[in-house]
């Protein structure tokens, strides 16, 4: 398994002092779907935009390591990173209704990215676009290429976005809440499509979501983010079977499971809101909402490795065999 995306100790700070991402590390392998899960405002999208280098100009991005398909991309100029964006790494967004330019046809927007990166002719680009529209399950691709975004439904537009992301055969696909704005039935179709693309094309996919149901369905690996940090990381089976971090447990209790939750009993919820963390913050960001808070939650938080790639950032002692990695 070769790592397509390697992030080590990524931090993003905005000029107003908000530390939106604090020391995030994660790896996405070829053919793997890695889910980044957490509440709104926990830094998931900022992490994704930081990888794409699409952050606002005044954001401060630092990382020990940021590699795409083995190539270091931390120090690349805007021009050089522009050559990778759309070519080796592609991204799709939450709002399919507004993510396509209303003034240009589907075909024009799809071929444009291919011709930019591949120095291909018009015909070749159009053929490729039609093939991909067909691949993402759009019937009558020839007709669709000549249509404008407003003539398509939300689900179709998201399929177009996916097909457009695949135009140059990227190694990495970042999908930022791609199904949040869609109907439930369409949501399932889009997820199935993403899963099949990841398998068939060996695509490394970083899927950002707040929905644990989606994680359970499509992910191989999960990183749970809270207040800019990855608080727990594990394979999907491990995480659902043995959640360690109090936040992860809280999240799981918020998901209704038919048969397990008695009708009429209250569904779990986590009191409070995600805090805004300033640069230089020490301790656990979740402490304020945690039921198992201890006095040492305000100090350095250890990153405990529980074996089999399961790691958790918490001061609570873990029963499993653990190697202690100082934070």
Q: Where on the chain is the footprint of other proteins (CB under 8 A)?
A: 52, 54, 81-87, 90-91, 93, 95, 98-104, 112-113, 116-117, 148, 150, 161, 164
Q: Are 195 and 33 in contact (CB under 8 A)?
A: yes
Q: Are 84 and 116 in contact (CB under 8 A)?
A: no
Burial of residue 229 (number of CB atoms within 10 Å: 0-12, 13-18, 19+): buried
Q: Are 35 and 221 in contact (CB under 8 A)?
A: yes
Instruction: Name the residue nearer to other proteins (CB basis): 24 or 91.
Output: 91
For the bound state, the minimum distance from the C-beta of residue 114 to other proteins, rounded and expressed in Å, comes to 10
For the bound state, the minimum distance from the C-beta of residue 15 to other proteins, rounded and expressed in Å, comes to 12
For the bound state, the minimum distance from the C-beta of residue 149 to other proteins, rounded and expressed in Å, comes to 9
List the alpha helices (DSSP H) in 41-97. Answer: 44-52, 78-84
For the bound state, the minimum distance from the C-beta of residue 68 to other proteins, rounded and expressed in Å, comes to 13
Structure tokens at 58: 């005044």
The whole-angstrom separation of Cα 171 and Cα 203 is: 6
For the bound state, the minimum distance from the C-beta of residue 274 to other proteins, rounded and expressed in Å, comes to 23
Instruction: Name the residue nearer to other proteins (CB basis): 11 or 53.
Output: 53
The whole-angstrom separation of Cα 208 and Cα 35 is: 6
Backbone φ/ψ region at 95: left (φ over 0), alpha (ψ -120 to 50), beta: beta
Instruction: Name the residue nearer to other proteins (CB basis): 100 or 277.
Output: 100
Instruction: Name the residue nearer to other proteins (CB basis): 74 or 108.
Output: 108
Residue for token pair 């198992």: 292
Instruction: Name the residue nearer to other proteins (CB basis): 53 or 223.
Output: 53
Instruction: Name the residue nearer to other proteins (CB basis): 49 or 297.
Output: 49
For the bound state, the minimum distance from the C-beta of residue 113 to other proteins, rounded and expressed in Å, comes to 4
Structure tokens at 223: 């990183």
Cβ-count burial 134-170 (b if 16+ within 10 Å, e if not): ebbbbeebeebbeeebeebeebbbbbbbbbbbbbbeb
For the bound state, the minimum distance from the C-beta of residue 57 to other proteins, rounded and expressed in Å, comes to 11
Instruction: Name the residue nearer to other proteins (CB basis): 205 or 248.
Output: 205
Q: Are 69 and 171 in contact (CB under 8 A)?
A: yes
């Amino acid at each position: 398994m070769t790592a397509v995306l390697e992030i080590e100790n990524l931090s993003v700070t905005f000029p107003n002092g908000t530390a939106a991402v604090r020391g995030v590390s994660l790896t996405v392998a070829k053919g793997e779907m890695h889910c980044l899960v957490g509440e709104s405002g926990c830094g998931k999208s900022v992490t994704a935009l930081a990888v794409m280098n699409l952050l606002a100009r005044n954001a401060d991005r630092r990382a020990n390591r940021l590699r795409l398909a083995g190539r270091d991309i931390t120090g690349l100029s805007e021009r050089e990173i522009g050559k990778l964006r759309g070519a080796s790494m592609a991204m799709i967004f939450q709002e399919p209704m507004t993510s396509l330019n209303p003034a240009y046809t589907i075909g024009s927007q799809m071929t444009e990215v291919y011709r930019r990166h591949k120095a291909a002719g018009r015909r070749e680009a159009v053929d490729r676009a039609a093939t991909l529209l067909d691949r993402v399950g759009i019937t009558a691709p020839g007709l669709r290429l000549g249509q404008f975004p407003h003539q398509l439904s939300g689900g179709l537009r998201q399929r177009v976005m996916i097909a457009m992301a695949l135009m140059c055969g990227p190694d990495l696909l970042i999908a930022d809440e791609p199904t949040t704005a869609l109907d439930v039935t369409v949501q399932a179709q889009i997820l199935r499509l993403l899963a099949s693309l990841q398998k068939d094309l060996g695509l490394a996919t970083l899927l950002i979501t707040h929905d644990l149901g989606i994680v359970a369905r499509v992910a191989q690996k999960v990183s749970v983010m809270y207040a800019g940090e990855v608080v727990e990381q594990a394979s999907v089976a491990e995480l659902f079977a043995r959640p360690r971090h109090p936040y992860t447990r809280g999240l799981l209790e918020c998901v209704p499971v038919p048969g397990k939750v008695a009708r009429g009993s209250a569904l779990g919820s986590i009191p409070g809101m995600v805090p805004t963390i300033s640069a230089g913050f020490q301790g656990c960001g979740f402490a304020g909402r945690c039921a198992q808070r201890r006095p040492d939650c305000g100090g350095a938080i250890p990153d405990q490795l529980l074996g089999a790639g399961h790691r958790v950032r918490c001061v609570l002692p873990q029963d499993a065999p653990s190697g202690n990695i100082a934070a």
